[in-house]
Amino acid sequence: MSTTPPRYAAADLLAFAQRLLHAAGMPDDKAQAVAGILVEGDLMGHTTHGLQLLGSYLREIEAGTMNVQGGPEVVSDAPAALTWDGRRLPGPWLVLQALEAAAERARRMGTGTVVIRRSHHIASLASFHKRATDQGLLLLLACSDPNSASVAPFGGLDPVFTPNPLSAGIPAPGLPVVMDISTSATTNGLTNRLHAEGGKLPAPWVIDGHGQPSDDPAVLFQEPKGTILPLGGLDSGHKGYGLSLLVEALTGGLSGHGRADPKEGWGATVFLQVMDPAAFAGLEAFQRQTGEVVRRCHASRAAREGRAVRLPGEKGFQLAEAQRREGVTLHAGIMDALAGWAKKLDVALPAGR
């Protein structure tokens, strides 16, 4: 007999995650930032990059591989450009600090860029953008992880890259346009989850160690190990390959720290750039243009009956609004995995509806 999965009040999940992180030794301001970004990921439906990550973050704190004390070190400080050593501090907190710094510079100079070397993992990139677009600011955000590799260059078998997401938040009338695109055909989070569950990918997004396309994530764990394909797959993966090289330049290149350096463990190198339309043609003119593009996209005839054209981020925002009202459904197994941490850290589990 099937059972309906419980729903949790978003505020309860936020408080639960904060209490777990605080009990593990993370100061309140950082715990609040990390919990907020993780819960936002689940609200928007990015369930591999929401509370699914919390157990891993707690293990990293326990092992001492995520630093929770202090702030980033300034490597370089120019009028519109700032480089930090993140000291393996919590990634979501670092990105929010960087967003604040870049926004302040953008308001003064039109643009502000922060790159971060040695950040810890930064969770779902889509979770950050509305914080910028609500202020009428355009945000570009990208990251890589020089400590691991699971994506081969186009035409190759040996991995060089991580999925290297590239994202943007664009102010527009009504909902902003928010895109969060891996430069690979899929992500480590999804392939790891499906492999653990014995599931298959929707399409042949990976290749095995002999170069044969597959929809089975198990080929990534078998010898010779396979790899995730670049965005575009076997036919046009040169496009994803090119974008991944761009992300490497924006992150490792600009921060001066990446794949040429010794590995330090799971983490991120981050590029964050804020632009203030007010310093260009003005926010009103900017939104007039983006609004017309949005209007034309929505007005485009649907290729499939009953499936109207959506803008990137639209489904996530609508889902988040519904889940704030009706409760959040977590992916199966997430709360079970966190129950052990709750017991260990003496934190009460949230009550499901």
Q: 68 is in which domain, residue-wise?
A: 7-185+229-289+313-345
**Bridge partner list, 170:** 177
Question: Does residue 348 sit in helix, strand or coil?
Answer: coil
For residues 135 and 213, membership in a common domain is answered with no
- Identify whether 129 is part of a domain: yes
- Identify whether 87 is part of a domain: yes
User: 195, 243, 199: which is closest to 218 by C-alpha?
Assistant: 195
**Number of domains comprising the chain:** 2
Domain boundary among 196, 213, 228: 228
For residues 181 and 68, membership in a common domain is answered with yes
For residues 260 and 181, membership in a common domain is answered with yes
- Identify whether 297 is part of a domain: no
CA gap 305, 104 in Å, rounded: 45
For residues 220 and 244, membership in a common domain is answered with no
For residues 159 and 104, membership in a common domain is answered with yes
For residues 31 and 49, membership in a common domain is answered with yes
For residues 152 and 42, membership in a common domain is answered with yes
For residues 246 and 165, membership in a common domain is answered with yes
Domain boundary among 228, 257, 280: 228
CATH assignment of the domain containing 190: 3.30.60.50
For residues 141 and 270, membership in a common domain is answered with yes
Distance from the Cα of residue 313 to its chain's centroid = 13
For residues 191 and 102, membership in a common domain is answered with no
CATH assignment of the domain containing 42: 3.30.1370.60
Maximum CA extent, the chain? 62
Q: What is the pLDDT along the chain (353 residues), one digit of tens a residue?
A: 457 889 999 999 999 999 999 999 999 999 999 999 999 999 999 999 999 999 999 999 999 999 999 999 999 999 999 999 999 999 999 999 999 999 999 999 999 999 999 999 999 999 999 999 999 999 999 999 999 999 999 999 999 999 999 999 999 999 999 999 999 999 999 999 999 999 999 999 999 999 999 999 999 999 999 999 999 999 999 999 999 999 999 999 999 999 999 999 999 999 999 999 999 999 999 999 999 999 999 999 999 999 999 999 999 999 999 999 999 999 989 999 999 999 999 999 999 98
For residues 174 and 265, membership in a common domain is answered with yes
**Bridge partner list, 269:** 144
- Identify whether 304 is part of a domain: no
- Identify whether 56 is part of a domain: yes
- Identify whether 264 is part of a domain: yes
**CB-based contact 347:20 (threshold 8 Å):** yes
- Identify whether 353 is part of a domain: no
Strand 166-170 vs strand 206-207: parallel, antiparallel, or unpaired?
unpaired
For residues 95 and 201, membership in a common domain is answered with no
Which class for 123: exposed (0-12), middle (13-18), buried (19 or more C-beta within 10 A)? buried
- Identify whether 330 is part of a domain: yes
Strand 111-119 vs strand 81-85: parallel, antiparallel, or unpaired?
parallel
